[in-house]
Amino acid sequence: MKVLVPVKRVVDYNVKVRVKSDQTDVDLANVKMSMNPFDEIAVEEAVRLKEAGTASEIVVVSIGPEKAQEQIRQALAMGGDRGILVTTDVDAESLGVAKLLKAVCDEEKPDMVIMGKQAIDNDQNQTGQMLAALLDWPQGTFASEVAQNGDKLHVTREIDGGLQTVALNLPAVVTTDLRLNEPRYASLPNIMKAKKKEMAQKTPEDYGVDLTPRLSKLKVTDPPKREAGIKVPDVATLVDKLKNEAGVI
């Protein structure tokens, strides 16, 4: 089984995000960038499938600037076989990314696409679903467990009411949730080996996809500062404030 894993370059989750003084965007100057944590989980799951003998090849793809090579190399060091970087300086929207990934799938013919359920920079949670729709493939979103059972892929999903297990025909799209696994750290020997692994460089034009944004960003602001709480003398006062001031009961 051939597995395609899209990864995204985002601001590291440990970094406190700052807004530019002109409020046009987030300030990325001298900021540590990393692989999107949900995508890291997807890479780890693909590697585990390969170690179990289920997957035969792992192809890692990223859409972004030249520096996104770093995130592809990290995925290759974790166990990916080769990479594809679609180079663009455009801040691609979800639909544009999904169209590009469809074009990559049409060329690579993977049996499964496994990707993070969302990116932590925009939290939109829609690229996987859009890709499945464009490919007309079944999808298993918010996966907390993935296992092949015969010719089916069983995906346990995290839903509001608990867990749901779906059986998907391959090829399929799977998006990963936090509880699926614990990503491994790449060892130094594997990091060195990853530098020699194949990485193809493409452009959106190579796939005939237009990434011109459909949305315009009007303003970026910091969230309002949280006000200090108050202490109440008794439960009756707490209930009164919740009812008459907060209006939550």
**For the segment 181-220, what is each residue's pLDDT rounded down to a tens digit?**
999 998 999 999 999 999 999 999 999 999 988 888 889 8
Average pLDDT of span 20-30: 87
pLDDT at residue number 226: 83
Residue 246 has pLDDT above 90, yes or no: no
pLDDT at residue number 28: 85
pLDDT at residue number 178: 92
Contacts of residue 39, Cβ cutoff 8 Å, sequence gap at least 6: 5, 6, 7, 8, 75, 115, 116, 119
More confident residue, 14 or 85: 85
Average pLDDT of span 55-77: 95
pLDDT band at 52 (very low <50, low <70, confident <90, very high): very high
Average pLDDT of span 74-102: 95
* Residue (of 146, 117, 141) closest to 52 by Cα position: 146
Q: Cα 73 from chain centroid?
A: 16
Contacts of residue 159, Cβ cutoff 8 Å, sequence gap at least 6: 142
Residue found by looking up tokens 């949730």 in the block = 177
pLDDT at residue number 27: 86
pTM: 0.86
Indicate the average pLDDT of the chain: 93
Can you say whether residue 171 is alpha, beta or left, with left for phi > 0 and alpha for psi between -120 and 50 degrees? beta
pLDDT band at 107 (very low <50, low <70, confident <90, very high): very high
Give the whole-number percent of the chain exceeding pLDDT 90: 73
Please tell me the distance from the alpha carbon of residue 134 to that of residue 111, in angstroms, as a whole number.
15
**DSSP state at residue 176:** E
Parallel, antiparallel, or unpaired: how do β-strands 152-159 and 139-149 relate?
Answer: antiparallel
CATH superfamily of 2-224: HUPs (3.40.50.620)
Residue 176 has pLDDT above 90, yes or no: yes
Residue 69 has pLDDT above 90, yes or no: yes
Which helix or strand (DSSP H or E) is residue 159 part of? Answer: strand 152-159
pLDDT at residue number 227: 83
